[in-house]
Every structure is written in C-alpha cells, then in structure tokens.
C-alpha cells in the first residue's frame, strides 16, 4: 500500500515538473521572473532574520548561502534568456550584412562601413572579428575576405564547397568573388558556373559569370549570362553597365545605348564610366555632338580618367574642332602616356591641322606602343603619301595585315612610284575583296591615265562617279584627259561639274 502511494506521488510530481518545465521553456520571461524573485524573497527573509533573536543561528547562514546561490542562478538565467539571444541575433544580422556586401566583388567592403554597422547593432567591432576568427570555417572565410586575405578565403570556401553539399552554391559564389578580386577570371568563372548550376535563380552567380566572360573576351556568352542576371533582378545598374560594355564589344552600339541609359536611369545621375561608354557608342553611330556631351559629363564626374579625355577628343575631331581635340588628347596623354590609340587619334588631329611632321611623330609613337595597330600604320603612310614620301608610305602600308586596306593603300603608293603593273594588281585584289568602292575605281583611272590608256581611264572615272556622284576629283581628271585629247568643250563641262560639287561642299 505504501509503495503504491509512493508511485502515485512520484508520477504526479513528474507530471507537475513536466508541465512547469514546458511552460517555462515556452515563456523565457517566466523563467527570468522566478529566477529574479527567488533571491529577492530570500534576501527579504534574510533581513527579517537579521532583526530577530536568531540572527546568529544556523538558519541565518543557510539563508545566506541560498541567497548567494539563487542570485548566481538569476544572473545566469538573465544572460542565457535575454542578453545572449540578443547578442546572437545581432551577430547573425552582422554576418548577413557582411555576406551581402561581399556578394559583389566590384565593391570591396570598407572597414569603416562594417565597423559602423556593427556599432549600430550594438556589437563591438573587434569582438565580432574575434568571433569570426575562432568560428566555423565559413566564418573564417568571411573574415579572410574582409581582411583581403584572398588566398585564405579561397582555401576556406573551397574546402567547404567540396565537403558540404547544402552550402555548395553559396560557397562557390564567395569562392568566385575571391578569385575575381584576385583577377583570376578563369578560376572565378568555374566557381560562378558551379554556383549558377546549383542555384539557377542566384542573381550574383550569373552577374559574376557575365563579368568574367567579358574579361576573357567571350562576349556572346557574357551577354547571355548578363541577360539572365537582368531577368532575375532588373534594378542593378552595374549589370546594365556591363551589358552595355559587352554590346559595344559586339558592335551593337544602339543596343548598348539602351543598356547604358537603363544603368543611368537606375542610378541617377549615373557614374563616370557609364557616361564614358555612352559617349563611345554615340560616337560609333555618328552622333558626335551627343557623344561630346556624354564625355564632358564623364569628365565632370572623374576629371582624371584618361579614356574620357581620349573619346572627347575623338568626338571633337569628327566635329572638325581639331585644335580642341588636340588639347583633349594632350590631357589624356598626360594622364596615361602609354596609350597607343590616343597617340593615333592625336596624329589624326595634327594631320588635319597640317602639322604633318608632328602627326608622323604621333603615329610613330602609337606604333611603338601598339605594333599591331593597322590603322596607325595606315595613317602614317597617308601622311607620307601626302608629302610625296612614297617609299616611306609604301613601307608603312606594308605593315598593314593582308586584306582590303593593305591592297588599296599599297596600290596608291605604287601608282605614285610609277610601278603601274604592281599598282594595278593590288587595286584589282582590293576590288575583288570589296567591290564597288569609288576610291578604288578612281585610282584604277589614275593608273590607266598614267599609262596612256585615256578611254579606259575615262570609263574608270565614270564608274567612280556612278558609285559616288559628288566625286569632284574624278571630274577634274576627266577634264585633264579631254584637254589632252583636244576635246575642249567636254573638258569645260567636266570642270564645271567639278566646280559645282566643290561649291556644294563648301556650303555644307
């Protein structure tokens, strides 16, 4: 009987403890309340006992020990149920902030920025760093990225990506970011592709992939990746800017302008690089005044960007403002004297200003910096051609790669050197490569005229005029042939047509 009563008592006690425990677990505030109220009650009892005749007895000592123990339990409960969860929430929020900021390798996380954010969350910045340093492999990887220790970051994230399937997408994204910052586009691309494969809806993986493909010169693939990124999140201006850059590389300047306008619209007033790229595309489609305005805006935002000055100069050349263009090129070269294209453009401006010796020097410098720039050799050869240095012109044209320009300009130089058969052969190759070019037919006429084949020369000049009706030089040469043949009225008529074309040009 006594055993049965004991069993029932223990069962009831067990249920009471279970119910109270679960209630306390669900309501941490109740735990804190009892934890705090217990030492207060004991402290009150201890005061009463101290005022009684039994203050020096064993009961007083017992209450003192109980009070100390309950006070310690209260402090531990307050820390466990109130302070620590808040710290953990702040730490988790800080980690999420760092992850977000590190998701774009083009924007390095500044120490001042994350320290300010930690302070806002009530965290000591150094304590946060110390926790990361002693935390999980992932937290150590974040710490390495924050400290720009990219080799360490690559090691941490690579290890996690190889061992933890659930974390692979995020780890490969961060691994790609670390490689991208280290300017290792091939390795970064492999990581981004893995991340995109594991998480096809991951915006940062697709945008990172697109940027790496741009660096590798694979622009069609880059455009596909960036299209995917903009479809996932169409409100990121940097991705639209990269898309514009890719479209420029593909020669699709009107599409590039749309992408660049989108980038500016999402981040008004835009940034210097986007405005510069807008100027490049506007110039490429012949909108030189708008191109000049775009380059000016870029320069206002970043006066020390050499490329913006270069493309401003290019727009000015096309607007006929060669003196201003020269000044722009000089400014660009002061910022970056090793850019061969700028020297080439400066040569064009100098040539237009009839400063031919300086133009040759500029073209020579361009070729020293970029020996494979066929345009620089061509322009230098044209200066020599204009100054009757025909052998030098031919030597310059010989440096142009095999193709239309090489055959055309060699044909012109050979004609001036009286090497007519060779000239005619070069011009025929150019005509076969790119038929119906007025200038080729004009020079064919020159060769025929100089080899005493006047009728064929006249036909060649007429063919040039048929292709380009305002070809005044062809009419002038026809007039010269007619004069030599004694057909003076035909010569007068031809000169009259040449004069009217010249007048029309001057009016424009």
Q: Would you write out the chain's pLDDT as a tens digit for each of its 508 residues?
A: 555 655 655 566 566 655 655 555 555 555 555 555 665 655 555 565 566 665 566 655 665 555 565 556 655 555 454 444 544 455 556 556 666 666 556 656 566 766 776 666 565 777 666 766 666 666 677 777 677 777 877 776 776 666 665 477 878 888 888 888 888 999 999 999 999 988 899 899 999 999 999 999 999 999 999 999 999 999 999 999 999 999 999 999 999 999 999 999 998 888 999 999 999 999 999 999 999 999 999 999 999 999 999 999 999 999 999 999 999 999 999 999 999 999 999 999 999 999 988 998 998 899 889 888 888 888 889 889 888 999 999 999 999 999 999 999 999 999 999 999 999 999 999 999 999 999 999 999 999 999 999 999 999 999 999 999 999 999 999 999 999 999 999 999 999 998 988 888 776 5
Residue 53 CB: number of other CB atoms within 10 A?
A: 7
Environment class of 257 (CB within 10 Å of its CB; exposed 0-12, middle 13-18, buried 19+): buried
192, 209 Cβ separation under 8 angstroms: yes
d(CA 427, CA 437): 11
> Residues 273-295, buried b or exposed e (16+ Cβ, 10 A)?
bbbbbbbbbbbbeebbebbbbbb
469, 485 Cβ separation under 8 angstroms: no
d(CA 371, CA 364): 9
d(CA 132, CA 141): 9
Angle at 93 between CA 134 and CA 138, to 5 degrees: 35
d(CA 189, CA 291): 34
Entry pTM: 0.63
Residue partners of 272: CB distance under 8 A and separation at least 6: 298, 299, 301, 302, 305, 308
What H or E segment, with its residue span, contains residue 417?
none
d(CA 64, CA 384): 108
Q: Which long-range contacts (CB under 8 A, 24 or more apart) does 161-166 make?
A: 161/194
Three-state DSSP class for 287?
Answer: coil
d(CA 36, CA 74): 5
Angle at 145 between CA 144 and CA 146, to 5 degrees: 90
In the block, tokens 């064919």 appear at: 444
Give me the pLDDT at residue 7, please: 61
Angle at 399 between CA 395 and CA 404, to 5 degrees: 105
What's the distance, Cα to Cα, between the start and end of the chain in Å?
124
Give Rg (Cα) of the chain: 40
Residue 19 CB: number of other CB atoms within 10 A?
A: 10
> Residues 191-215, buried b or exposed e (16+ Cβ, 10 A)?
bbbbbbebbeebbbbbbbbbbbbbe
d(CA 195, CA 386): 59
Give me the pLDDT at residue 255, please: 96
d(CA 67, CA 161): 52
> Residues 478-503, buried b or exposed e (16+ Cβ, 10 A)?
bbbbbeeeeeeebbeebbebbeebee
136, 95 Cβ separation under 8 angstroms: no
């Amino acid at each position: 009987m006594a055993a049965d009563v004991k069993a029932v008592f223990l069962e009831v006690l067990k249920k009471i403890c279970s119910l109270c425990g679960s209630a306390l677990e669900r309501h941490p505030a109740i735990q804190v309340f009892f934890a705090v109220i217990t030492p207060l009650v004991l402290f009150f009892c201890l005061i009463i006992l101290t005022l009684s005749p039994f203050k020096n007895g064993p009961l007083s000592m017992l209450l003192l020990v109980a009070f100390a123990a309950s006070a310690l339990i209260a402090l531990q409960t307050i820390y466990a149920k109130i302070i620590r969860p808040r710290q953990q929430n702040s730490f988790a929020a800080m980690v999420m902030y760092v992850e977000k900021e590190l998701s774009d390798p083009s924007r390095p996380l500044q120490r001042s920025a994350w320290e300010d954010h930690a302070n806002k969350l009530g965290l000591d910045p150094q304590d946060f760093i110390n926790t990361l340093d002693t935390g999980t492999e992932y937290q150590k990887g974040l710490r390495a990225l924050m400290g720009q220790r990219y080799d360490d970051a690559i090691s941490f994230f690579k290890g996690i990506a190889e061992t933890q399937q659930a974390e692979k997408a995020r780890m490969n994204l961060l691994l790609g970011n670390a490689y991208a910052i280290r300017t290792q586009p091939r390795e970064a691309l492999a990581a981004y592709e893995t991340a995109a494969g594991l998480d096809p809806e991951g915006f940062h993986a697709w945008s990172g992939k697109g940027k790496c493909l741009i660096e590798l010169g694979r622009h069609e693939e880059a455009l596909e990746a960036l299209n995917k990124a903009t479809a996932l999140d169409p409100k990121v201006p940097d991705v639209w800017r990269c898309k514009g850059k890719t479209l420029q590389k593909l020669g699709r300047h009107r599409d590039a302008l749309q992408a660049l306008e989108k980038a500016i619209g999402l981040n008004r007033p835009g940034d210097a690089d986007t405005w510069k790229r807008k100027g490049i595309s506007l110039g490429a489609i012949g909108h030189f005044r708008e191109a000049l305005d775009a380059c000016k805006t870029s320069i206002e935002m970043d006066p020390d960007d050499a490329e913006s000055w270069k493309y401003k100069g290019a727009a000015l050349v096309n607007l006929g403002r060669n003196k201003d263009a020269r000044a722009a090129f000089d400014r660009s070269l002061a910022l970056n004297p090793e850019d061969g294209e700028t020297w080439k453009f400066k040569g064009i401006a100098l040539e237009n200003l009839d400063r031919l010796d300086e133009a040759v020097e500029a073209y020579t410098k361009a070729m020293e910096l970029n020996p494979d720039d066929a345009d620089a050799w061509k322009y230098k050869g044209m200066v020599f051609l204009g100054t009757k240095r025909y052998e030098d012109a031919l030597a310059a044209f010989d440096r142009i790669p095999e193709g239309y320009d090489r055959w055309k300009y060699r044909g012109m130089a050979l004609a001036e050197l009286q090497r007519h058969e060779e000239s005619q052969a070069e011009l025929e190759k150019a005509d076969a490569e790119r038929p119906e070019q007025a200038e080729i037919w004009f020079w064919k006429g020159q060769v025929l005229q100089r080899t005493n084949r006047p009728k064929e020369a006249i036909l060649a000049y007429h063919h040039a005029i048929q292709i380009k009706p305002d070809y005044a030089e062809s009419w002038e040469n026809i007039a010269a042939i007619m004069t030599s043949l004694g057909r003076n009225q035909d010569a007068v008529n031809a000169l009259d047509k040449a004069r009217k074309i010249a007048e029309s040009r001057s009016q424009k």
